[in-house]
Amino acid sequence: MKILVAVKRVVDYNVKVRVKSDQTGVETANLKMSMNPFDEIALEEAVRLKEKGLATEVIAVSCGVAQCQETLRTAMAIGADRAILVETSTELEPLGVAKILKALVDKEQPSLIILGKQAIDDDCNQTGQMLAALIGCAQATFASKVELMPAQVKVTREVDGGLETLSLTLPAVITTDLRLNEPRFVTLPNIMKAKKKQLDTLTPESLGVDVTPRIKMLKVCDPPTRSAGVKVADVAALMDKLKNEAKVIQ
């Protein structure tokens, strides 16, 4: 059983991004880039399923610029068996990525496709859902537990007020939530081993996929700065302000 995992290269979650002065986006030059945290969880889950003997091969896929190779080498150091880079300099939208992944699913025929629930740069939370629709297969988003069986997968999801358990027929798409697992640390010997693993490079064109953007970004701007708070002398003054200035109590 093959598992395909989508891993996106994003600005590291510890970096505080700055909006470009012309409001066309955020500064990404010279910033630390890392694997999207939800994708690390997706990969960890796939590797654990392989270690349990439930899967035979884990393939990591990244779509984007040539530097995504670094993310894919990290994926192979975590435990992916091989990797595919779909290289393009076009700014990809979730639909473009979903179409690329669909083409790879047709080619590789995985039983399970695991993605992060969202990329921390665009916060779209769309790619997994779009991919499942394009394949026409079952999907379980925001997974917090995954139990793989030969022809089906049981997924527990955190929903408002409790847990929902779904049983999906394979092939299926799963997107990962934060509590699914805790990804392992990458060790130096595994980084060295990953250098020798297979990394194929394709292009959207070679897969017959049109990734022309359909959305035009109008502008990106900082949130309004908060005005400074005021100190009140006592509870009576606070009540007076809440009642007469903020008008939030009667």
Place of tokens 């392989």: 50
43: CB partners within 8 A, 6+ apart? 5, 7, 35, 58, 60, 75, 78, 79, 80, 114, 183
Query: Based on CB atoms, which residue is closest to ligand AMP, 120 or 242?
Result: 120
- Here the tokens at position 229 are 């708070």
How near is the Cβ of 219 to ligand AMP at its closest, in Å? Answer: 20
Query: Based on CB atoms, which residue is closest to ligand AMP, 61 or 112?
Result: 61
Query: Based on CB atoms, which residue is closest to ligand AMP, 88 or 156?
Result: 88
Query: Based on CB atoms, which residue is closest to ligand AMP, 124 or 189?
Result: 124
Task: Give residues in contact with ligand AMP (CB under 6 A).
Answer: 6-8, 36, 38-39, 42, 61-64, 92, 94, 97, 115-116, 118-119, 122, 124-128
How near is the Cβ of 8 to ligand AMP at its closest, in Å? Answer: 4
How near is the Cβ of 67 to ligand AMP at its closest, in Å? Answer: 12
90: CB partners within 8 A, 6+ apart? 96, 204, 211, 212, 213
Rounded to the nearest 5 degrees, what angle is found at the Cα of 53, between the Cα atoms of 171 and 113? Answer: 25
Whether the CB-CB separation of 5 and 43 falls below 8 Å is answered with yes
How near is the Cβ of 150 to ligand AMP at its closest, in Å? Answer: 25
Q: Are strands 152-159 and 138-148 parallel, antiparallel or unpaired?
A: antiparallel
Query: Based on CB atoms, which residue is closest to ligand AMP, 81 or 177?
Result: 177
How near is the Cβ of 123 to ligand AMP at its closest, in Å? Answer: 6
